Structure 1
């Protein structure tokens, strides 16, 4: 009996040792199973030559290579000072090698074969670190190192995660547990996850983080918290990551005891100048300020009759003696029942184009409303020639199923980045606006609202990790395809089995169109549950303000559906170029993905698909549900190649996703049916519940 009990215990331990909780993200240096492949890689990784052991960043690079090689290849990797006549190793060098031209951006690196060794070369230490992670990525994804030749340069200067983390440990729009920042423990205890966080970001080229919520508390500017932030900055610095702080514009009053926070008041100027100097005493390489002002109740310069430029330039003046910058968010809108929130940011900022200090960069969301599953690109990207604009994507899935729906976001990011604004004629893609090349701007920035939390796997849904990874890769090089990024992530995180990689990549590429199909087809938007932003609530007609309701956006009536932005209800389409107007302005030519963004379409109008609007809407909602079932079937085929814990986690969430896709379908089809007075197409099975039944589900969510 004892013998069998011992066998059972050992079997259990063995099973647990292989369970993957996702905490290592994509930096899994597990032993490569194929012996021949290990031997091939071992030929190139016999040692690591480091010219400067004392440099912190180079030390991190060599340590990462050592850890990676030992894990992946199952052999000791020695770190030596000089290669001398040895071959078959990796040489790390900081130099102006001929392959690295003067035009390449900071952090650029080259990896090449030379004299029987692989050289990772950069003009900067952080470039060597990035190159080391790139080499490990090649090994993790089983790519040959023979005659390797790579030159890689970041296209965006500042590649940043925006954390919406609060001092009390909560995370606004966080779906993976509490904040990773343990403010109650800092600065005396450094959580090991800070180092894991830094490694993960450096591996994909992220070099900046704003550490707290844009709905900021002045508390983060106190000496107590600056000491805590310093401790985090000290951990991130050796990985090439600078810290930014989101600030509350009212801080001179709440912290300094001033009677005003007017940006033109000399005492306010003085307060910010002194506070900025104080911050640099704690954090010499402080990245700068991130500001949300006069938006959704946050204080700002308009409280004193001043402009966004007045506020931003005041902070830029305080930053003049230092290298940091000011990031001013353009997410602003007025509570105007007769207006169109689509236009607010453009109209408030357009008169200020060219009036911002060179140290200011204006951060613009990818779309004009608020991180919807699919939005047309923000018109500001095509209309500002004298102000550097930063891109703000949302990695956390506020409107995309949060932590239960599998939704790979690289195609969404790419759709925006690759769209031509025609701002200077054909070839004026959004990506060229934000990288600074279109208007020769010196500063460039791409920010992603982080999806990290205290959950063991960091991001809630296992596939949400892929969105963090994809954001970093695209911020480094927006020309990468969503397919290539997915294949990298799958190989580093899930499996290198080719057949399984193809299936999983197919799941990832289809996931966003699937989600849009059962939630927001044909350009519908902003119909989610109030407050929690989870699940459908297309009937929402009362909220704190009209533009927080669903009916404000879909405009359903007995005639048709959609928000007319061609001039009858709003002239928002005129904020775009003539070429965009010609494309999106004609309902018969408009991309169906954007149709209801710009047009109020009659229910019985025939679309390019041959179906009426009502028929097409129904078919898309029903197809979305069927597509989730297809994702489930595909996932079942990879079970033998995926860690069991990860497999079961995704399998369970896909079941939830199917149930909630049906919820979305039934809610929207039954609700809009009341306006159309038309039957659901005969080829589709009508929902087996009433609209009132569905509304009761939503009422339960409001009790959360």
Structure 2
């Protein structure tokens, strides 16, 4: 009887384990771990030990040799996979390259790729030297623009208690080639540099090191004043310089491979060198000099804008371009992909290509601050692919993504939001990969439940849904170049009418849409703010001309009459209405596509995505009705008869008020949002 009870308990625990394995926590690393593969290596180290273990547990093929040796065709992180008479050999000049090669081989196995054929040799080198996640995590474990639970970093328990998720996090990042992490929010607390917290940072760095993940910290420029009561943070002051040198020495004594500092300065109220009459270059160089003996870097953010008569889209360029050539070699200026602020669609930032003598790095936003948080499907690889069409990887040596990771079981909130973390890593390694290819990889490794052998009835449709999802969001939120129509504070819902007493104009939607009786859009042409002049001549001419400006950027660069004739032959107003409606209809199609997937995915995952799609469909209608009913007051034109009628009254929509915490998403129910 006792034996039967133990057997029953064992079966229950086994069943529970299987169920837990389908909660999304394994991300794209779901291959069985019972392979017992034969693996040998010509050197030993903790990192090579990890590569050996990964292959032993998951590789189902021929024996593998891990070969650490120089290779003229390989960069430090690069690897070669080739067939030999004895099996397969993974070669790299550095041990982390062997780990990357291991994960690549296991990815090919999971995808059943033809690249594994015996006549193929694989050579991979990363496009960017630094491939970094930026966590906007606060020390109280809230996350600014986080929609997947609390921060992973439990500062209260560190350094003595280490969560299993710390290593799982490092493993997931290494599997897609990410090699750095900024642990804390760019709106940084000086406390992160205290002796107490540096011990906690050291504990995380020790966990991440074997996976090739270097730790970086966001620092507050006024830290010497806050932590040690210095009277100034002037970067040319000798005491300030000495303070940063001593603090940097303290950090490297604890963490020899510390990566460096990320700095947000003189932006949105953060302190910086301009407070003391110094330039961004002088501030960055002071920190760079402190880091130089240890080969550390400064990532200095170019996200700056201040109360000014200048077009906000121009301000980063106006402030940083004149400093070109003045930064130390170990300073990298970190520039958002667009000139305003991670909008669903922006032209690329004109700083790229205009600072010929300064190292730059692109900053993408993986978390969906402006794209429906974790309620909406918005696969972002197509957005980033647009950026790479204008800004080649060869112009930069580093890239950063603002993380969407939290304590939710599936890490990212929406199951499909995992795809953006994955896509960022894959594109940071190789920007030439297509959105289609990355979506194909992620779906096959992640979304289908175990035991499904034939995905052909649904795979193409799910991939199409992913590839079309970002454009759908653009359509039902802000088509044709509209931008920043979001509600005050949380950037979730629409509020094109937003008025806040005392708020700066560039914090309000009307600053950007400028709707009036004549038309809509921000005139950035040569007759307006002349932001077009910041672009290369060929693009400036294209964007400056109303007749040649691409319609996806039309209202970004021009204030356009409501009755302007579009390429379709319709008026601007009619075209705007049809884009909003197309976005709504597209989300309804996504619902139908997902409903067809029920037999192919885990039941909990199916219900979760189905529920979120209902929210997204309601939100899409909310956006469409709010924007069209509001703008109709100015156009005085009817909504075309053949598109779906509004179901809300503008007066009711203007009463909507959301209250959203740092790590909770709204329910999507309009009735619960009224004042």
What range is the shorter-chain TM-score in?
over 0.9
| 1:607 matched to 2:607 | no
Structure 1 residue 65 corresponds to structure 2 residue 23: no
1:91 matched to 2:60: no
Asked whether 1:431 is paired with 2:389, we answer no
In the alignment, structure 1 residue 273 sits paired with structure 2 residue 263: no
Match of 2:162 among 179, 187, 190: 190
Contact 1:18 1:643 in 2 (8 A): no
TM-score by length of structure 1 reads 0.89
Q: Distance in 2 between matches of 1:408 and 1:649?
A: 17
Residue of structure 1 equivalent to 2:670: none
What is the alpha-carbon distance in structure 2 between the residues aligned to residue 110 and residue 51 of structure 1? Answer: 15
- Matched with 1:400 is 371
Runs of 4+ in 1 over 4 A off after TM superposition: 9-16, 699-704
Give the structure 1 partner of residue 29 of structure 2. Answer: 27
Question: 1:38-62 CA deviation, whole Å, 9 max, x = no partner?
Answer: xxxx8xx841112234x01000111
- The aligned residue for residue 484 of structure 1 is 437
What is the aligned partner in structure 1 of residue 327 from structure 2? 356
Deviations 1:502-556 (A, max 9, x none): 1211110010111101001000000011101111001113363211100000000
Deviations 1:130-166 (A, max 9, x none): 0000000011112243314100000100000001111
The corresponding residue for 1:328 is: 300
On the 8 A contact 2:146/2:367 being kept in 1, the answer is yes
Once residues 335 and 492 of structure 1 are traced to their aligned partners in structure 2, the CA distance between those partners, rounded to angstroms, is 48
Greater displacement, 378-387 / 539-548: 539-548
Instruction: Note if 1:634 corresponds to 2:634.
Output: no
> Equivalent residues in 2 for 1:176-325 (5 A)?
176-325=148-297
1:153 to 125, 135, 147: 125
Residue 10 (structure 1) shift: 7.5
Structure 1: distance between partners of 2:235 and 2:166:
35
**Partner SS state of residue 463, structure 1:** helix
Matching residue within 395, 399, 406 for 1:453 = 406
Equivalent of residue 89 in structure 2, options 114, 119, 122: 119
CA distance in 1, matches of 2:134, 2:370: 17
Deviations 1:545-593 (A, max 9, x none): 2111000000000000000001333011100011101221111111111
Is the Cα contact below 8 Å between 2:477 and 2:623 reproduced in 1?
yes
Equivalent position of 2:38 in the other structure: 47
Q: Which deviates the most, 643-652 or 550-559?
A: 643-652
CA distance in 1 between counterparts of 2:388 and 2:409 reads 32
Q: What is the CA distance between 1:319 and its match in structure 2?
A: 1.0
**1:500 offset after TM fit, Å?**
2.4
**Residues 1:546 and 2:505 aligned together:** yes
**TM-score, length-normalised on structure 2?**
0.93
TM superposition shift of 1:684: 2.1
Question: What CA deviation, in whole Å up to 9, does each residue of 1:479-510 have, x standing for no partner?
Answer: 00011111111111023723322121111001
Indicate the residue corresponding to 1:666 in structure 2.
625
The whole-number CA distance in structure 2 between the counterparts of 1:16 and 1:647 is 19
Q: Give the conservation status (yes or no) of the 8 Å contact 1:535–1:698.
A: no
CA distance in 2: counterparts of 1:644 and 1:463, whole angstroms = 15
* Structure 2 unaligned spans of 5+: 661-672
CA offsets per residue over residues 326-354 of structure 1, 9 Å max, x none?
A: 11000001112x32100110000111100
For the 8 Å contact 1:588–1:607, the answer to whether it is kept is no
- For 1:341 and 1:450, locate their aligned partners in 2 and report how far apart those are by CA, in whole Å: 25
Aligned to 2:472: 514
Change (3 A) 1:363 1:699: closer
The Cα shift of 1:700 comes to 6.7
Instruction: Provide the secondary structure at the position in 2 that maps to 1:166.
Output: coil
1:17 corresponds to which residue?
A: 18
**Which moved further from structure 2: 641-650 or 195-204?**
641-650
Determine helix, strand or coil for the equivalent of 1:327: strand
Structure 2: distance between partners of 1:450 and 1:31: 28
CA distance in 2, matches of 1:59, 1:645: 35
Residues 1:594 and 2:553 are matched in the alignment: yes
2:495 is aligned, of 515, 537, 540, to: 537
Structure 2 counterparts to residues 567-586 of structure 1, below 5 A: 567-586=526-545
- Report deviation, 1:320: 1.8
Matched ranges for 1:66-81 at <5 A: 66-69=56-59
* 1:39 paired residue number: none
In 2, Cα distance between equivalents of 1:116 and 1:290? 47
Question: How far is 1:281 from its partner?
Answer: 0.7
The structure-2 alpha-carbon separation of the partners of 1:556 and 1:502, relative to structure 1 and needing over 3 Å to count, comes to same
Unaligned runs of 5+ in 1: 33-41, 78-87, 420-428, 435-443
Cα separation, 2, equivalents of 1:449 and 1:17: 32
In the alignment, the residues of structure 1 paired with residue 576 and residue 32 of structure 2 have an alpha-carbon distance, to the nearest angstrom, of 46
The separation in 2 between residues aligned to 1:377 and 1:685, in whole angstroms, is 33
Alignment partner of 2:350 out of 379, 392, 398: 379
Q: CA deviation at 1:685?
A: 3.6
8 Å CA contact 2:376, 2:613 repeated in 1: yes
Corresponding residue to 2:460 among 502, 513, 519: 502
Q: Who is 1:426 aligned against?
A: none
Q: Distance in 2 between the 1:224 and 1:241 partners?
A: 22
Partner Cα distance (2:365, 2:75) in 1: 25
